[in-house]
């Protein structure tokens, strides 16, 4: 039966009659047949043609079959060689095996036997090649898997670093910054506890100000002698290099309940001002170099942010002090409204807290409350201080103060939210207020809070144009204003607080 894929066989024999017979027989069977009468000629063929199997006589002139087999092995050790001899001897047999000959036929050789031998060795060769291929593929697969693992690690690392950058950049205020940083430490490293310490430069001590395991500030007394944790912290502060103790065996006096520990210094302008610590207290996982790398990266990003906030707070505080002096000057013009701004702020803050406002909102309200009437600087004394009722024209002038005030705050370039509250603190819930006639949700929530506090304090104080109102009457006025002048939901909370004596 003709074969689909013709393998090529090389016959090497000094007896040309054998070559002719083999050529005829195997060509008919579909094989490609090449012949050579000696080893040298055969090697020349091998250099030019691709051969799948060789039949070689042992006894040949110039180069015998065994020498030829040895040559083939050096060219391509996958080519099977079948030797044939009319004079079998033990020496020959041993030599053929040494040379990697795959079969040994004794002359005169039956063509059928040659064919069986050929089929067998070709089958074995195919298996050998397949094995080689499989081995190569396996090696490739292993290398690919290794690359893939490395790639996954890099991708994960980039993901974590990216997440750190975006988490840090999402911190918009200084209020919850340290709490958020501790949360990030816990999330990044799977620590059981994380703390933030501030360094007291004069006393060379570390002061724990915040810990993930307790709410609010935990100020540790520094009167006692340093414990091992504090010693490690101070060591890190002087080295300015992050510290990693992957497996705590108690060697540095660290309590054994801490299984794994890290200390990372926080720097502002190259100076360590605090540290973050992370501890593992249960389970089998331990901190690694990678955790230390992530935390160092995070604290570096956070340090820039802390520096910015510190700078901002400083400018902010300067500005607030200046404006405070400004407000005092205005209030000094009008003895009846003295300390009105600070009282309004205090009431508004109590109300805001009861309404579950965030710390950030409370801070906004603190500034806006202080500055809400700052626009009165632009109102003439004869109107501002006029005893008795104001006429329409004069009242229109008074009504300009929220706009003047918001313009002053706007010019400072800070405090966008505060500026809006100053502008809208005289808007009415039903849209009848000034300057923009906003209603309901259009009025900023904090402005709606401030509005009630403002009116409550104003009508409760002795004003130039009306006497002091009785406290019951004041509450009645506020109650009546619910839904028209004021947000009814805020009025409800306000009245409740008054009833409980929290606002007086």
Beta carbon of residue 476, minimum distance to Fe ion (angstroms, whole number): 22
User: 3-state secondary structure string, 63-111?
Assistant: CCHHHHHHHHHHHCCCCCEEEEECCCCHHHHHHHHHCCCCEEEECCCCH
Cβ 463 to Fe ion shortest distance, Å: 12
- C-alpha distances in Å from residue 63, one per residue of 26, 35, 139, 344: 25, 15, 40, 116
Helix (H) or strand (E) holding 199: strand 193-200
Question: Closest approach of Cβ 426 to Fe ion, in Å?
Answer: 6
Site string for Fe ion, 383-422 (x = CB under 5 A): ----------------------------------------
If one asks whether residue 427 binds Fe ion (CB under 5 A), the answer comes out as: no
Nearest partner of 46 among 66, 26, 87, 75, judged by Cα: 75
Nearer to Fe ion, 93 or 338 (CB): 338
User: Mask of contacts with Fe ion, 322-361, x by CB under 5 A?
Assistant: ----------------------------------------
Compute the least distance from the CB of residue 454 to Fe ion, in Å. Answer: 6
Which of 374/491 has CB closer to Fe ion? 374
Closest contact distance (angstroms) between CB of 422 and Fe ion is 9
Which residue number, 320 or 403, has a Cβ lying nearer to Fe ion?
403
| CB-nearer residue toward Fe ion: 7 or 334 | 334
Binding piece for Fe ion, criterion CB under 5 A, among 160-168, 281-289, 290-298, 365-373: 365-373
CB 310 within 8 A of CB 232: no
Nearer to Fe ion, 103 or 373 (CB): 373
Structure tokens of 86? 């009319």
Measured from the CB atom, the residue of 64 and 373 that comes closer to Fe ion is 373
Minimum CB–partner distance for residue 375 and Fe ion (Å): 8
Q: How far is the CB of 373 from Fe ion (least distance, A)?
A: 5
Residue 463 per-residue DSSP state: P
Closer of 58 and 455 to Fe ion (Cβ): 455
**Distances in whole angstroms, Cα of residue 466 to Cα of each of 91, 442, 458, 460:** 135, 31, 10, 10
Stretch near Fe ion under the rule CB under 5 A, chosen from 144-152, 285-293, 341-349, 371-379: 371-379
Instruction: Look at the alpha carbons of 321, 322, 328, 332 in this order and tell me if their dihedral is positive or negative.
Output: positive
Cα separations in angstroms, 96 against 109, 123, 125, 230: 17, 20, 18, 80
Q: Is 457 in the site for Fe ion (CB under 5 A)?
A: no
Q: Which is nearer to Fe ion, 373 or 487 (CB)?
A: 373
Q: Around 146, how many Cα atoms within 13 Å sit in the side-chain half-sphere?
A: 6
Tokens describing residue 416: 């966008």
Instruction: Please tell me whether residue 373 binds Fe ion under the rule CB under 5 A.
Output: yes
For Fe ion, the nearest residue by Cβ is 373
Q: Distance between CA atoms of 90 and 112, rounded to whole angstroms?
A: 25
Tokens 């050789």 belong to 109
Task: Locate 296 and state its tokens.
Answer: 């160092």
**Collapsing DSSP states into helix, strand and coil, what is residue 491?**
helix
Alpha carbon distance 77, 82 (integer Å): 13
Shortest spacing between CB 390 and Fe ion, in angstroms: 14
Given the rule CB under 5 A, which of 213-221, 257-265, 370-378, 406-414 is the region that contacts Fe ion? 370-378
| 268/404 with CB nearer Fe ion | 404
Of 184 and 367, which CB lies nearer to Fe ion in the complex structure? 367
**Can you give 258-292 as a three-state secondary structure string?**
CCEEEEEEEEECCEEEEEEEEEECCCCCCCCHHHH
CB of 372 to Fe ion, least distance (A): 6
Residues of the chain by 3-state class (helix, strand, coil), percent to 5: 55, 15, 30
Q: How many residues bind Fe ion (CB under 5 A)?
A: 1
Give least dist CB 451 to Fe ion, A. 9
Residues that bind Fe ion (CB under 5 A): 373
């Amino acid at each position: 039966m003709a074969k689909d894929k013709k393998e090529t066989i090389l016959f090497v024999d000094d007896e040309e009659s054998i070559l002719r017979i083999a050529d005829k027989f195997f060509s008919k069977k579909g094989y490609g047949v090449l012949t050579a009468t000696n080893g040298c000629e055969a090697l020349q063929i091998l250099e030019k043609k691709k051969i799948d199997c060789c039949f070689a006589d042992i006894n040949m002139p110039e180069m015998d079959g065994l020498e030829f087999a040895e040559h083939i092995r050096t060219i391509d050790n996958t080519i099977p060689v079948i030797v044939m001899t009319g004079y079998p001897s033990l020496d020959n047999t041993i030599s053929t095996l040494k040379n990697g000959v795959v079969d040994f036929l004794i002359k005169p050789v039956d063509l059928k036997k040659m064919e069986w031998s050929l089929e067998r060795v070709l089958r074995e060769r195919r298996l050998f090649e397949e094995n080689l291929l499989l081995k190569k593929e396996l090696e490739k697969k292993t290398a690919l898997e290794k690359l893939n693992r490395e790639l996954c690690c890099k991708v994960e690392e980039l993901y974590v670093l990216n997440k750190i950058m975006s988490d840090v950049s999402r911190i918009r205020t200084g209020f919850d910054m340290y709490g958020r940083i501790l949360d990030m430490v816990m999330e990044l490293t799977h620590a059981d506890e994380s703390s933030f310490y501030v360094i007291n430069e004069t006393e060379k001590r570390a002061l724990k100000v915040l810990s993930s395991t307790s709410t609010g500030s935990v100020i540790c007394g520094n009167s006692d002698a340093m414990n091992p944790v504090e010693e490690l912290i101070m060591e890190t502060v002087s080295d300015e290099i992050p510290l990693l103790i992957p497996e705590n065996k108690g060697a540095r006096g660290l309590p054994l309940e801490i299984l794994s520990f890290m200390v990372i210094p926080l720097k502002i302008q190259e100076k360590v001002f605090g540290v973050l610590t992370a501890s593992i207290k249960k389970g089998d996982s331990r901190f690694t170099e990678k955790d230390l790398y992530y935390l160092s990266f995070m604290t570096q990003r956070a340090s820039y942010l802390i520096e910015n906030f510190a700078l901002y707070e400083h400018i902010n505080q300067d500005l607030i002090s200046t404006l405070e002096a400004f407000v005092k000057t205005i209030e000094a013009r009008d003895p009846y409204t003295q300390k009105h701004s600070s009282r309004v702020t205090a009431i508004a803050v109590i109300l805001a807290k009861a309404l579950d406002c965030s710390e950030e909102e409370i801070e906004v309200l603190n500034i806006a409350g202080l500055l809400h009437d700052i626009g009165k600087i632009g109102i003439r004394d004869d109107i501002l201080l006029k005893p008795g009722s104001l006429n329409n024209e004069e009242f229109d002038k008074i009504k300009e103060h929220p706009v003047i005030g918001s313009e002053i705050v706007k010019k400072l370039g800070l405090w966008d939210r505060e500026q809006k509250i100053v502008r809208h603190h005289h808007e009415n819930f039903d849209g009848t207020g000034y300057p923009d006639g906003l209603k309901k949700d259009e009025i900023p929530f904090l402005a709606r809070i401030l509005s009630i506090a403002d009116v409550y304090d104003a009508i409760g104080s002795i004003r130039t144009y009306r006497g002091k109102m009785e406290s019951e009457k004041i509450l009645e006025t506020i109650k009546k204003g619910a839904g028209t002048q004021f947000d009814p939901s805020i009025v409800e909370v306000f009245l409740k607080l008054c009833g409980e004596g929290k606002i007086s």
